[in-house]
Amino acid sequence: MADLGGRIFFVNSALLHMLEEQSREDVYQHHLSAYYNPETAKRMQDEILPLVHRQGHWIGELNLISKRGHATP
């Protein structure tokens, strides 16, 4: 979970494993965009987060990029 500014404030154990991070605190130190490729991070900032702010939700899929560069849809 992240706020509309991209600050991550909750990660469950499954996501922590997918991101290949050691602890939740490691994830909380990063902006949401750190776990997406640059193109997706820009789309999130320019399109998705503003849409969530206006409508309250967004439905879609994005590929997460782990600490070691593995992509997970």
pLDDT tens for each residue of 59-72:
999 999 999 999 99
Of 68, 33, 26, nearest in space to 49 by CA: 33
Say what the pLDDT of residue 4 is.
Answer: 83
Task: Name the maximum alpha-carbon separation found in the chain.
Answer: 34
Average pLDDT of every residue of the chain: 94
pLDDT tens for each residue of 34-59:
999 999 999 999 999 999 999 999 99
CB atoms within 10 A of CB 1: 10
Q: What are φ and ψ of residue 8, in 5° steps? A: -80, 130
Task: For residues 14 and 34, give the distance between their C-alpha atoms in angstroms, rounded to a whole number.
Answer: 18
pLDDT tens for each residue of 6-36:
899 999 999 999 999 999 999 999 999 999 9
pTM strictly above 0.75: yes
